[in-house]
Amino acid sequence: MVVGVLAVLLGLLGPGATSRAEAAPDGSGDAPLPTTGGWPLDGTPTVEHAFDPPDQPWLAGHRGVDLEARPGQRVLSPADGRVVFVGRVGGKPVVVVDHGGVRSTFEPVEASVRVGQRVRQGQALGRVGHEAHCQDRCLHWGLKRGKAYLDPLVLVQGPASAGSAGTLRLVPSSRRAVVVAEALAREVARRAVEAAATGGTGFVGGPSLPSLPAGPVGALGPLGPAGSHGFVHPVPGAVTSRFGRRFHPVLHVWKLHDGTDFGAACGTPIRAAYAGRVSRRISSVGYGNRLFVDHGQVDGHHVVTAYNHAVRYVVGPGAHVSRGQVVGYVGRTGFATGCHLHLMVWLDDRMVDPMTWL
């Protein structure tokens, strides 16, 4: 288990570390992040499992991110630093890089660097190895400042690759959630202004929504009565927040609630609403872990559904799913005040109220 391995590893890197891991400062709680950062893999990898820290330090949680990767892929240093650990922990090959106050931990990595070696951002540390954590399909990346676990994606600015630098705004860790919320609120406002300037009537959502063509939903033509298309509810919970304009509980701005929220306990199975093919599996700050399913033509309309805030998904891009098949499990990743599923529906590339179709 990744949490257990990280706990052992952090013990190895403490004051009593062995000679294999040179003595290095743990970093203070006020140490700044590197001023530039990037992905530890070539290109822009898919985040398979987002950062999901526990409410209390002693509870279970996901104290890092899992990036989609295959054995043999290059692992790159996300920022300048010094290699402070190369070895196996709990049978897993691990590499740790100290960036001067914060440390990146990678597993499984068959290292090509040595302890004490200085590395530059984008320099190869080794290659993805084999281990059972995600069936040889991911690289686990952790980030720590002192005793606090951080979301490693704070080192990544936009869709840059590991070799491309981004400018990071340095803020206290206690303020990060507020700053991100403010940034998303500004993005929502900017998109609303752009839509108004171009005369578009497409819905405005968070920064990771697919682009939506302008045009009223009415242009879709008759949809038929809700419940007549063969789609099922993805979870058994009651509707807790409907599609439409509302005051966002996290961003504290009035904006479109672009889907339907179903209340369900974390860990509740999420089922495909209809047969289709998984087109994307991504992670974003606002929506958390996301899964998109393309259902093709149904009753004269091209239908796409998206499932958001899950703790994890069990299918990936290209997978064909049947109606009612379990595709993941309810969580509270992203901007969520509690465990629930946020369901979104597009008809002919236009966002609609899911309950007009289910």
Amino acid at 213: P
The span from the CA of 49 to the CA of 232, in Å, is 26
Whether the per-residue pLDDT at 166 is higher than 50: the answer is no
pLDDT (mean) for 62-78: 88
Number of domains, the chain: 2
Mark which of 166, 198, 216 sits at the end of a domain: 166
pLDDT (mean) for 193-209: 39
CB atoms inside a 10 Å sphere around CB 196: 11
Do both 219 and 156 map to the same domain? no
CB 140 within 8 A of CB 128: no
Residues 113-137 pLDDT 10s: 999 999 999 999 999 998 776 777 8
Do both 189 and 160 map to the same domain? no
Bond prior to 207 in cis (omega within 30° of 0): no
Query: How distant is the alpha carbon of residue 34 from its chain centre?
Result: 21
Q: In the block, which residue shows the tokens 């402070």?
A: 84
Mark which of 133, 166, 199 sits at the end of a domain: 166
DSSP string of 196-210, one letter each residue: HHHT-------TTSP
Whether the per-residue pLDDT at 81 is higher than 70: the answer is yes
Whether the per-residue pLDDT at 277 is higher than 90: the answer is yes
State the residue range of the domain holding 21: 2-166
Q: Residue 312 corresponds to which tokens in the numbers above?
A: 């994890």
The span from the CA of 168 to the CA of 206, in Å, is 20
Residues 228-266 pLDDT 10s: 899 999 999 899 989 888 776 666 667 678 899 999 999
Using pLDDT thresholds of 50, 70 and 90, give the confidence band for residue 176: low
Instruction: Give, in order, the Cα–Cα distances in Å from 328 to each of 49, 180, 278, 306.
Output: 11, 26, 12, 12
- Does the CA dihedral 211-141-184-338 come out positive or negative? positive
